[in-house]
Structure formats: structure tokens, C-alpha cells
Amino acid sequence: MTQMEYARRGHITPEAQYVAEVEGVSVEFVLKQVAEGCAVIPKNRLHKNNKGVAIGKGFRVKVNANIGTSMGYSSAEEEYEKAQVALKAGADAIMVLSTWGDLRGMRRHIVDVVDVPVGSVPIYDAAVLSYARGKAVVDFQASDFIEMVRIHAEDGIDFMTIHAGLTMDIVRRLRHTDRVLKMVSRGGAIIGGWMLKNDRENPFYEYFDEILDIAREYDITLSLGDSMRPGAVVDATDDLQISELIVLGELVQKARAKGVQVMVEGPGHVPLDEIEANVKVAKSITKDAPFFVLGPLPIDSAPGYDHIVAAVGGAIAAYHGTDFLCYVTPAEHVSLPDQDDVYEGVVAAKIAARIADVARRREDSFHREYEMAYARKTFDWDTMFALAVDSEKPRRYREKRPFSGEGCSMCGPFCAIKIIEEYASGEVKVL
Amino acid sequence: MTQMEYARRGHITPEAQYVAEVEGVSVEFVLKQVAEGCAVIPKNRLHKNNKGVAIGKGFRVKVNANIGTSMGYSSAEEEYEKAQVALKAGADAIMVLSTWGDLRGMRRHIVDVVDVPVGSVPIYDAAVLSYARGKAVVDFQASDFIEMVRIHAEDGIDFMTIHAGLTMDIVRRLRHTDRVLKMVSRGGAIIGGWMLKNDRENPFYEYFDEILDIAREYDITLSLGDSMRPGAVVDATDDLQISELIVLGELVQKARAKGVQVMVEGPGHVPLDEIEANVKVAKSITKDAPFFVLGPLPIDSAPGYDHIVAAVGGAIAAYHGTDFLCYVTPAEHVSLPDQDDVYEGVVAAKIAARIADVARRREDSFHREYEMAYARKTFDWDTMFALAVDSEKPRRYREKRPFSGEGCSMCGPFCAIKIIEEYASGEVKVL
């Protein structure tokens, strides 16, 4: 049975119990959310050391970090290091998106060593196999794609992006769209290319029931990919994107009917004024399925700093109901990230998640901010660093430019906190 | 006459003309906004090389960078370098906030070499003089504070933070507030301390007419400081903050009546869900005075990354009507920033400004995003870098991990843009 099926029967799995403890909610609440499909606990039954992470309504906003090789940058070791760096920075899930080298070996290794949910995009294998084996993607059979899903399931992958919403009707409309960037989803482009070339319906859509059977067998959480997510703010929130979203809403219902855990992926590049609408339409159409966004990026014109751009979009998206943020690194749109980029990307996404949790007045999140303020009032630097999203960087800063007194080298003796505390309390020391 | 008085008479100053050109608006629009006080063009008549920058409704969101020495870190040369770094990164204004060394010399030098508005906080001089000359701040006379304003005016400073809204009634309430951090404004704490110790009304409030006379004489733009801005998200939007804002609204009316340009400073630390309300209440109470915020920071728990936190808050604040963003560097709350921090701080604030300008559908801003998307479609890397908020960092990234084909090393041969363009156009090359 899947986590969803257990929850519907009122059975408390170890993962549901664990999640209740770390989130500070009752296990009954966990079961209710998972049973209704408003939250997922992605855990392949073969991924033994996955302790359980809840993604969805009523839980803390979660962060995913992508790792993976690409052509010319195919060191598995480096990608393993990136996974560790991401976890150290606080990532709640890791997606293995390698497109070069020993894909299966890397996938299995990450599943072995990582105790959080591990995700993948099975369709990438098609592109890679086409290069490695001299076989063209267009020559794959529909059944080959389904087989890739099964292989990933057997490797212990907890959640998989499946581009099942890209129907023939939608992909044909690409020829007449006024989008600047027709498609920026790698998986979407691969399956879309196959569909256009072979003039065949999307196998992930056509054989969705078979995918559900595999997902149910291993308890894979499906992450319904948005092939038509906008890749530029000028392309956002158009008919193609929303048409696919409607299909995804139908697929969510099918998955839930079979007891399969499912979440929905969202944009992408969206101007700030449209982020709230994007989240609310997605939540409404998918009947509160957990929403997983990439960014979103409210401008395109800051390459090198897309982690900051994504932090802005992600904070707003999460405040309005997004449950799961895929990190974006400073290298996005320019090159494959290195370990430092991964670290920075996770921290930026964690900041967005914290901002949203505080704005949504989660008691534990708001209390942490209170403790931070109190640590500032009392110049308790160790507590400040301990509560910080990253303890190391602020500690380095303080050591680099120290100040001998209680405050810091910014204001030196003219620290407002110190001056006014003394005056307001009547114990005048400075001025 | 001040820019406001000229505008009211329909006289086109060189600065109003310049501003109209760079903003792509009619000079009539500039005059209307400046005449009504919805926008300011800060320019001390002694600051000859200040070409003019418009801050306010209908103009691009602007970014201010603070520089300045502090005790133990008093190299003027380093601060001059920071000013140049800030300008290179795109800062629209520089505030000189030195609290150690030759304050006047530094101020004058920056005014001499900088062609954008230069701001200052005259009250800081009191604290510094008290250290340097062994005179206690509490021993200053009310007239000493007013004299500091005149000295800064003579030095060519274009806009000054004046903490005139902190009345005796408000500062007394500090003893009974449940705020965690009573006050985090340096200037506010200095004058508030003086008031409490001497049991005297705030001289900036009491002698506001004299300050207006000085401001009018040199055409100083007053930036009404918010001494009571919250210094922690748990303290945000309280009675103290809003009480001071109401006083600032009265002072705005007094300034406008005398033809003095004026803007209003705002928080500070504010949870994301309260930022819109903060901006709208401020704009309403001050009758659309240009609004200048520090951050705002929607969480306190990310020291070392406050530039990212501020980018989130700043983007939302600017989208809802804030006109002027004071940058926050990664060093905020931990140490005095260095040159790299200044650069990163300005870039993060520029990103927030761009996000807001795009979301507010400024034609030029939205068009830049269109050009960026088109450059991505055509793999025109030079144009991408040219349009970027910072050209150097993405170029470094691309050189560090190059890819020989059209795309980048992230996706290698599996670039969605390339795949789908070929398929949708019928010219199949890959797959």
C-alpha cells in the first residue's frame, strides 16, 4: 500500500509518525492531509533510509536541490559532493538529473546515501541513451518510456517528474504560439519532439494508467511536469501553460483515485504581479495538490544572480500556497553549477521558505524570529549564528571585521540597540 | 528657488529636462510630479555635477548605497572605493554615513566626485564629536543640531535624513513598549537618548521651520527618518511606528507648503504579509510623498544573506509603491561591509527594483525582458550579458564551465530551446 492508502485506512506509518514529530503537528493531521492528497510523503518502498518528509498544505515549505552531470562535466564524485553540500545547506530533497555518464549507478548511489526523498526525470534517459547508443529518441517506442519509469522505480527513486500533461492538442499549438521561447522544459522538449516527429500522442498521457500501476507498486510520488511552463516573463500565464495545467488537474484526480501520491509542477518565469494568480489557479484546478515550483523568476535579466531572483519569486509563491521550491543556483541559464553554487542556491531557497513560513504565521517559524530578535537585544552572537539559515557565513564576517565591544563593526560604539536600551531603562552609559 | 518651486512655476530646470530624457517621460510629467511633491529631484545647488535623479511616483525604482567609516575602520580611501564600486554596480544615490575620522572631508570629497545625489545623516556628527572632543551628546544644545544641518548643506549634500518625527510623546512610550528591540535607528537613538536625558522635545521637531529654511536655501531634499522603524519582524507595524508616521505626514505638509522637497523613510523589518499594508498606509498618510525603505527584511534569521532577504522585501515594497530602496549588504547585522559586499548589496537591490518595474509594467523595463528572452532564443550571449543587471558575473560563469555548442554546460546537447525550436519549425537536427 502507498502512504496515501495507509493514511486513508488510518494506519500510522513510521514516516507519518516522524513527519508529525518534526513538523510539530498531530499525526491525525498528517494522515488527513495525505489521505486527501493535500500533502505527500514521497518514499519509494525500496528507499529504506528515507525517514520521511511531508510536502503540502499545513507543513513547512520545503526545498529541493537538483544535482547531476552533463556532457563534458560527468564526474559522479563531484555530483555526490554536491548532494552532500545541498543537504548540509538544508535541502529537504535531492533530484538526480544527470544527463551524462553512468546514470543508473549515480541514481542508485544517491538513493543509498541520502536520507531525504530523491527525485528524478526518467525521460532524460531517452535523450542520453540516444547519444550513448546511437539510437535516435524519435525511434523509441512508447513502451520504452514506460520502461524507464519502472527502472527508476526499481532504483528506489521516491518522486519522478512525468511530463504527462503535454497532449498532442497542446504541442501542436506550439507552431502558432507567439511565445518568444516555445518550450524550456528539457523533458517536455524531448517528449514533445518525439510527439511532433512521430505524430503520436504523449505516451505518458496515453499510458498514464500503467504509470500509476508502477507508482502504486513502489509508492512513487508522481510530480506532474509542466512542459509548457513559461521560460520568459513575457511568455507567462498564457493559454498553453493553463491548457496543460487543466490536463494536470485531471491526472491528479486519476492518481488520487488509485491511491497514488501526486504533486504538480509549476512555473518558471512569471512577473511578480502574476505569481499569486499562478499559485491560486494551480491550487484550485488541481484541488489542492502539493505545488512544486521552479523559482519562479520574476525577471530574466539577472543571470549570475538567479538564486536571488528565485528567492523573491519563491517567497511570494510560497506565501500564496506553494509547498515545494526547487532551488535555482547562481549558475542558472549560464553553466552547470559547482558546489559553491549549489550551497548558495539552497540557502537562497531556504530563505524564501522561511520568509513564507513566517508570513503565514507558522508558530515555530515566528518563534524562531522572536528568539533571533532577543539574541540581538542581548548581543548573544552564538545564538544568532545558531538560529541563522547558515551559521558559517555570518561567523566569518564577524571574524573578518571584528569589534571589541558588544555590538559589531558596522556601528561600533554608536549601536542604536545599546544606546536606547540604556536610556529607556534609565541606566545611562554612553552618549 | 527649489526644484519644487521651479516646477510649480512651470520652469524647466536642466535636471528636470535630464530626468525626463533618461526616464522616457515628458518634461511636463516631471514638473507635475515634482510640483505636487509625489517625486523629488534631490540636488543641493552647491552640488554642481549632480545631473539629477527623479525619485517618486511614475519613475523607475531607485537604489541608494550607504558608505562610511566606523570606529576601527576609518580609511577614507576605502570608503571612496566603495562609492565607486556602488556606482559601477548601478546605485542611483550614495549616502555618506561615516562615524569616524574626518567626517567633513569625506563628505566633501564624495560630493566632489559623485554625479548622483549624495545623502547624509547630520545627527551622526553629534555622536562622533562627542567621542572626538570629549563632549557628551547630552550636553549639546538644540541649536547645535540645527547647525549640523547647515554644515552638511554647505558641504553640498543633496538629501538628509532628519529624525524630526520622534516626538517626546512617542519616545516616552518606549519605557512601556513590548517591543523586543526598542529602537534600531542610530540617528533616532542618538536624538531619543538626548531627549530622554534632557527631558526636552526633539529639536528637529521643535525647530522644523528653521530646518525648512536651510533646506529651501540650498534645495536640500529632506528625508524624514523613521526612528521608530521596527528592528525585528516580531516588532513590526506597531503603535510606535505608526504614531511616528502620522507626525511625518504632518511634516511633509509643512515642507511642501514651504516649497521644500521631502521624502519619507520606512521600515525596516516587516513580515512579508505586512509589507503591502506598510507601503499603502505610508503613502496614504504622507499624501504620496516618495517612500524610501531600508530593506524591508521579511525575516531576521539570515545574517550573512540580508541582501537576499532585502531583495525579497524590497521587490514587494517597490511593487506596491515604494520609490527608493536603500540597499542592504551581506554584512548587515554582522560587520562593516567591504567593497565586495557593497557590490553585492547594490546588485541585489537593483534586482528588486527591476522586478518591481517589470511587475508594474513599465514599458522600458518590460521591453528589456523581451529582448533578454529573444537573446536567449537566439543564443546571443553578448546581448544577454549586456542586458544583465551585472554583465561580469555571468560572463565569468560561462568562461569557467564552457560548452562548445550554442547552449550552455547546464544542458549540453539537450537544450530544450534548441530541441523544440527545431521540431516546431520542422527542421529536425537533434534527437
- Chain B (66-125) residues lying within 8 Å, Cβ to Cβ, of chain A: 70-73, 99-100, 124
Distance CA(B372)–CA(A301), nearest Å, equals 6
Distance CA(A54)–CA(A22), nearest Å, equals 10
| Lowest mean pLDDT across A355-369, B133-147, B208-222 | B133-147
Interface test with B, best of A124, A135, A347, A397 (most B CBs within 10 A): A397
Question: In percent, how much of chain B has pLDDT > 90?
Answer: 87
pLDDT tens, residue by residue, A2-33 = 999 999 999 999 999 999 999 999 999 999 99
Cis amide linkage into residue B156, ω under 30° from 0 = no
Task: Using alpha carbons, select from B134, B148, B155, B47 the residue that is nearest to residue B93.
Answer: B47
Residue with cell 498532442: A168
Give helix then strand counts, H and E, for chain B: 19, 10
- Chain A (257-296) residues lying within 8 Å, Cβ to Cβ, of chain B: 271-273
Residue contact A414–B374, C-beta within 8 A = no
The pLDDT of residue B175: 87
- By the CB < 8 Å criterion, does B63 face chain A? no
Residue contact A301–B389, C-beta within 8 A = yes
pTM of the model: 0.97
Q: A333 near A297, Cβ under 8 Å? A: no
Give contacts of A396 with chain B, Cβ < 8 Å: 304
Distance of CA B422 to the CA centre of its chain: 46
- By the CB < 8 Å criterion, does A129 face chain B? no
Give helix then strand counts, H and E, for chain A: 19, 10
For chain A, what is the mean pLDDT? 95
DSSP A169-184: HHHHGGGG---SSS--
Q: Domains in chain A, start-ordered, CATH in brackets?
A: 45-51+59-360 (3.20.20.540), 364-425 (no CATH)
Distance CA(A174)–CA(B89), nearest Å, equals 39
Whether residue A430 has pLDDT greater than 60: no
The pLDDT of residue B139: 82
Residue with cell 528592528: B231
Q: B39 near B70, Cβ under 8 Å? A: no
Residue contact A307–B308, C-beta within 8 A = yes
pLDDT tens, residue by residue, A56-101 = 999 999 999 999 999 889 899 999 999 999 999 999 999 999 999 9
Distance CA(B53)–CA(B10), nearest Å, equals 18
Whether residue B242 has pLDDT greater than 80: yes
| Nearest residue of chain B to residue A135 (CA atoms) | B431
Whether residue A418 has pLDDT greater than 90: no
* Cβ–Cβ pairs < 8 A, chains A and B: 411
Residue contact A232–B390, C-beta within 8 A = no
| Average pLDDT estimate for B81-106 | 96
Predicted-complex ipTM score: 0.97
Q: A195 near A175, Cβ under 8 Å? A: no
Residue contact A372–B300, C-beta within 8 A = yes
pLDDT tens, residue by residue, A108-165 = 999 999 999 999 999 999 888 887 777 777 788 999 999 999 999 999 999 999 999 9
Residue contact B351–A193, C-beta within 8 A = no
Residue contact B334–A412, C-beta within 8 A = no
| Nearest residue of chain A to residue B139 (CA atoms) | A431
Q: A309 near A298, Cβ under 8 Å? A: yes
| Amino acid identity at B311 | A
List b or e across A316-325, with b for residues whose CB sees 16 or more CB atoms inside 10 angstroms.
Answer: bbbbbbbbbb
For chain B, what is the mean pLDDT? 95
Give contacts of A124 with chain B, Cβ < 8 Å: 414
Interface test with B, best of A121, A300, A320, A360 (most B CBs within 10 A): A300
3-state DSSP assignment of residue B101: coil
Name every residue whose Cβ is closer than 8 Å to that of residue B257 and which is 6 or more positions away in sequence: none
Residue contact B182–A410, C-beta within 8 A = no
Whether residue A429 has pLDDT greater than 70: no
Whether residue B249 has pLDDT greater than 70: yes
| Amino acid identity at A119 | G
| Average pLDDT estimate for B360-369 | 96
Instruction: Compute the nearest-CA separation of A225 from chain B (Å).
Output: 14
